[in-house]
Amino acid sequence: MATTEPTTMQQSFERLAGGALPDWDGLAARVRRRALRSGEVLFHAGAPHPHVVCVAEGVLKMVYDTADGKQWIKAFAEPGLSFASLTALREGGRASFSACAVGEAAVECVPYAAVEQFAARHAAWQRLLANAFRVYGERKEQRELELLTLSAEERYRRFAAEHPALEARLAQHEVAAYVRVTPVALSRIKARLRRASGPPAGAATGATEAPPPRPVAPG
């Protein structure tokens, strides 16, 4: 009998659980896949969205909107990462942030209530939820540490060093919104870092590597 290739959500959940999850097929029946166009919103802040989301393809950004119309990015989700708005998971709750696609993307969504039902019956599913909330707390704590203790330049340098491929696919205003500076300020930071790194070897003087000495015939 042919085996079914595990979905991205199954791989993500079982990685968090530390092993196989019993009765996965029962939850799989509740999972829905959705393709997103570039810039398309998966859910809006203030809207009900009691689901866990797993990114299957592309990148999603999680955005806070301020009263004066600014947007700040709280996090990015790349393939294999699961997330949810915790305030939307409780009964009658609503999302505290918006989630939208950076380029074309695809996600797998499942009702959080369905995951809770499996956790009530199986220790492995309980472990999944415990680890998921622990990882969420660690990421949130790290993000708060960066915002409260690092300068804007230090935050950008860390982001660029840890996520070079992600930075390459983002628009400058998206990187700025994550670092929490304006695009103009980010341009100045980048220019300052380029100046500090100096020109490539030989670029300032036009020096070139000297040719090797010609062999001398024996006398």
22 & 130 share domain: yes
Asked if residue 205 is part of any domain, the answer here is no
- pLDDT tens per residue across all 219 residues of the chain: 445 788 999 999 999 999 999 999 999 999 999 999 999 999 999 999 999 999 999 999 999 999 888 899 999 999 999 999 999 999 999 999 999 999 999 999 999 999 999 999 999 999 999 999 999 999 999 999 999 999 999 999 999 999 999 999 999 999 999 999 999 999 999 999 999 987 655 544 444 444 555 544 443
Asked if residue 121 is part of any domain, the answer here is yes
36 & 22 share domain: yes
41 & 142 share domain: yes
Domain containing residue 67: 8-149
14 & 104 share domain: yes
Q: Distance between CA atoms of 171 and 146, rounded to whole angstroms?
A: 21
Q: Distance between CA atoms of 193 and 153, rounded to whole angstroms?
A: 9
117 & 167 share domain: no
Q: Domain boundary residue among 149, 171, 190?
A: 149
33 & 88 share domain: yes
Which residues 6+ apart lie within 8 Å of 168 measured at CB? Answer: none
Asked if residue 94 is part of any domain, the answer here is yes
Beta carbons of 110 and 51 less than 8 angstroms apart:
yes
Which residues 6+ apart lie within 8 Å of 61 measured at CB? Answer: 73, 75, 76, 77, 99, 100, 102, 174, 178
Asked if residue 207 is part of any domain, the answer here is no
- Identify which of 215, 152, 150, 214 has the alpha carbon closest to the alpha carbon of residue 182: 152
Residue showing tokens 């918006």: 98
Number of domains in the chain: 2
Asked if residue 212 is part of any domain, the answer here is no
pTM: 0.86
57 & 104 share domain: yes
Q: Beta strand pairing status for 71-77 and 51-65?
A: antiparallel
161 & 132 share domain: no
Q: Distance between CA atoms of 42 and 32, rounded to whole angstroms?
A: 13
38 & 16 share domain: yes
55 & 129 share domain: yes
Q: Residue 105's beta-bridge partner residues?
A: 36
Q: Distance between CA atoms of 158 and 154, rounded to whole angstroms?
A: 6
Q: Distance between CA atoms of 132 and 139, rounded to whole angstroms?
A: 11
